[in-house]
Amino acid sequence: MAFLGRSNVGKSSLLNALCHAPGLARVSSLPGRTRLLSFFRVDGRFYLADLPGYGYARVPEPQRRSWKALVDSYLVGREPLVLCVFLVDARHDPMASDEQLRDFLDHHALPYVVAATKADKVGRGEAGRRTRSLREAFAPGARDVLAVSAVTGTGTPQLWRQVLAAAELKVSGRSETPTEPARVEGTSPSHRERRSHAS
Ligand code: GTP
Ligand code: MG
């Protein structure tokens, strides 16, 4: 499961919100914060991958190119990637770099859902309108388009259900979102510390 989208769109925040684990993935108001791939193992069953954002103009070109190579090589030519969560900002039309990513995912037939995030920053009516127009913009590739917010939790149960369905986990007998992050294992010692807190 990979979280994709422009720098600062809220990938790390949404990953944390889905796992009910604030502080798991590093969030920053400065775009370009996530520089490497980080993996979080959920329930010992699958991994969430927090990826660096793309399209952040102030990152030097060579670095942008190396991120792109990193992300592309992560996404393509591997079996276990069951779903990409493609984040776009609920407040704006998709940008050229979003369209490039969409075309890339479509070209490689990678499964994805679109999460229109920061939905708390627009009214409910506006979020609905944007979701509908995004459905058109991302058809037929996207499996779904959901308005979400990492701040209020809007849409996260629906997104989590998609994640679980894609991972072919049984939803029955489980709450719609995990009430706790269960066993979320990070890639750095600080994440391991947090895990021992959580468990
Ligand atoms: P990079 O790692 O730099 O690519 O960024 P990112 O996509 O991981 O974004 P990150 O989660 O670090 O969030 C960027 C900023 O947006 C932070 O200031 C977050 O607090 C804010 N943010 C993220 N999600 C939401 C949301 O749903 N609502 C609101 N209001 N703010 C959000
Ligand atoms: Mg990030």
User: Does the pLDDT value for residue 2 go beyond 90?
Assistant: no
What's the pLDDT score for residue 181?
45
* Ligand in closest contact with the CA of 4: 1
* pTM of the predicted structure, to 2 decimals: 0.79
CATH code of the domain covering residue 181? 3.40.50.300
For a pLDDT cut of 90, what percent of the chain falls above it?
29
CA of 160 to the centre of ligand 2 (A): 19
64 vs 155: which has the higher pLDDT: 155
Residue 9 Cα: closest atom of ligand 1: 7
- The arithmetic mean of pLDDT across residues 103-115, rounded, is 89
Each residue's pLDDT tens digit, 42-53: 666 667 777 767
Domain span including residue 75: 2-197
- The arithmetic mean of pLDDT across residues 17-27, rounded, is 77
What is the signed CA dihedral for 130, 30, 66, 42, rounded to 10 degrees? -70
- The protein residue with its alpha carbon nearest to ligand 1, atom 15, reads 29
Each residue's pLDDT tens digit, 26-36: 776 666 666 66
74 vs 14: which has the higher pLDDT: 14
User: Does the pLDDT value for residue 103 go beyond 90?
Assistant: no
Q: What is the DSSP letter of 85?
A: E
Q: Tokens 């069953």 correspond to what residue?
A: 45
Q: Tokens 């979080």 correspond to what residue?
A: 40
Domain count, the chain: 1
Least confident of 66-75, 86-95, 128-137, 149-158: 66-75
* Ligand in closest contact with the CA of 87: 1
Adjacent-strand bridge partners of 48: 40
For ligand 1, whether the C-beta of 118 sits within 6 Å is: yes
What's the pLDDT score for residue 193?
40
- The arithmetic mean of pLDDT across residues 17-39, rounded, is 71
| Cβ atoms of residues 65 and 54 within 8 Å | no
CA of 111 to the centre of ligand 1 (A): 23
* Cα(84)–Cα(114) distance, integer angstroms: 8
